[in-house]
Every structure is written in structure tokens, then in C-alpha cells.
Amino acid sequence: MGESKKHINWKILPLLKTTSDFFSNNNIPSARLDAEVLLAHVLGCERIRLYANFEKILTETELSNYRTLVKRRAGLEPVAYLIGEKEFFSRKFKVDKNVLIPRPETENLVGEAISFIRENWEKDTPLKILDLGTGSGCIATIIATNLKNAKIIATDISKEALEIAALNSATNAVDERIEFRLGSIFEPVNEELFDVIISNPPYISKDEKVMVDVADYEPSHALFADEDGYYFYKEIAVNLKKHLKENGAVFFEVGHNQAEKVIGILKANGFTKCKSIKDDAGIERIVWASLP
């Protein structure tokens, strides 16, 4: 599948088999899934429809477009960037190389924050929430779709990322309750106070080895942080109390084995109510703290 060939009558099933084998030989871990996702994208259908129409013969244009994507995937370019979207909380979010690809562990972060809010505030209580480093806007958008009483400010240092985030919020019909602001950490919010602050900051150490499809394609400013990955936790924590209302809370996504140290950073900045929460993989991936 990786080589240019004279056109033959490729049907869906043999094409998927050939592409899966090609991906496997190129050490793509999710070979069959990737082959299906890319072909469904080219054909403009859901994956399940591939098997309902397995006798379909691809046109030359469809085959050419598919080959192009297959070659790019074999070069380890992420599937989400190839098709321009990623599912998060069962909703599709536009993504490109200006934003981090949403991940399952971030779904756990958002789910915990939503559950906490529902348990601690009445349904009709107006809430003000801050999403620090919004990227694709997936966190802010999902919170807004689930909490109709929430007004959200979402910040990022990338103008291009904010444009994508704004598009995603509009697609999900919550753009009237999310305000996007350009700037680093708390710069865009002056002295404003929030009920909840949520952040998935860059937390990978610059010395840490990461997969090629991450390191070579996803935005480095959204991945890597100084001080062994703790820079942004320290920068956020030192000013948290200035931006949290009484009984307010903060939720962080953290890297593998970072939870204990992030809790220590929060305690050093006056937070006594702190805990870590495991994600679906059993990793302590979320750190929570609240006032007083």
C-alpha cells in the first residue's frame, strides 16, 4: 500500500488487510484501527459503514487520497492530524498541529471536575470557571455543555490554538458562555476570581523521551516544561489563592509519578486540602485542591 501502483479494482476489505499489514510492518501499534479510520475519512462515512459496504470498489481519486494518508501515517504523523479531528467525551473536536491532541486521561480530569461541581454547587448557581492553557478548547467546551450555569474563561499563549478552540465551542453551541483570551497563565485574567480553575499544563521534562509521533508533530510548548516538568505547576500555584473564591477548587492533570510532588507544591503555597485521583488506567493522573 505504501508504493505507487497502477490502478486496480481495490475493494474495501482487501484494501484494509493490505494497509493493516503495511502499518504493522512499519511498527504502527494500532494498525487495523488506523487503516479503518483513514479509509472512513476518505470515503466520508462512519467506520461501521466500511463493513456494510465491503464490496465497494474505490475510485482512482479515493485510492490516491487514501494512499497519501497511509504514507503520512507510516511516517508516524498522528491520525488525528491527518483527518483533522479527535473524539473527546463522544464529541468531535477539530485539531491541527497548533493544538495538543485530546487524550483519554484528560477526559478523566474533566469528569472529576464536573462531578465535584455538581456535588458542591446547586444546579442553578452561577459559576465562573477558568481553563488555563485551553488548546483545542476541549476542556472548556465539555464543561460548558455539561454545566449550563457555568461561564468559562479559557486562556492560551497561542493565537492559532484559540482560533481552533473558538471554532470547537461554536460547533458545540456553547460559544456564548466561553470567553477566549490570549496570554500566559494568569496574565489574561487580571485580578478576577473563579469558583474552579482547571488546567492540563505542559508537564513533560525536556530530558524525557517521548514517542516520535508526539515529539515530532504535536506543539512542543504544550508538552514540555522546565524544572523536570514542574515549572507551570509552580507558576500557577504561587498565584492560585489570588484567583480562587472561598471554597474554590483547582484541578490539575499531572504526569506519571508527578502527583505527590504537585501536591507538595500546592501545600507549600498554603493549600491543606489536597488529594490525587487515579485515571481509568490506575495512574494518579489528577491532583485536586480546594480552599480554605
Rounded to the nearest integer, the mean pLDDT of the chain is: 95
Q: How confident is the model at residue 155 (pLDDT cuts 50, 70, 90)?
A: very high
CA–CA distances in Å: residue 207 to residues 99, 101, 103, 265:
22, 21, 22, 21
* pLDDT tens digits, 52-103: 988 899 999 999 999 999 999 999 999 999 999 999 999 999 999 999 999 9
Q: How confident is the model at residue 1 (pLDDT cuts 50, 70, 90)?
A: low
Residue 6 has pLDDT above 70, yes or no: no
pLDDT recorded at residue 8: 74
What pairing do the DSSP bridges indicate for beta strands 85-88 and 178-182? Answer: unpaired
Residue 260 has pLDDT above 60, yes or no: yes
* pLDDT tens digits, 9-54: 899 999 999 999 999 999 999 999 999 999 999 999 999 999 998 8
pLDDT recorded at residue 123: 87
Q: Say how far residue 259 (Cα) sits from the centre of its chain.
A: 19
Amino acid in position 233? Y
* pLDDT tens digits, 186-224: 999 999 999 999 999 999 998 898 988 999 999 999 999
Q: How confident is the model at residue 283 (pLDDT cuts 50, 70, 90)?
A: very high
> Where do we find the cell 480546594?
290
What pairing do the DSSP bridges indicate for beta strands 91-94 and 85-88? Answer: antiparallel
Please give the Cα distance from 288 to 198 (Å, whole number).
Answer: 9
Amino acid in position 255? G
* pLDDT tens digits, 168-191: 999 999 999 999 999 999 999 999
**Cβ proximity of 131 and 220 under 8 Å:** no
Q: 85-93: list long-range contacts, CB under 8 Å, 24+ apart.
A: 86/136, 88/138, 88/142, 89/138, 89/142, 89/145, 91/141, 91/142, 91/145, 91/172, 93/136, 93/137, 93/138, 93/141, 93/168
Question: Which is more confident, 124 or 265?
Answer: 265
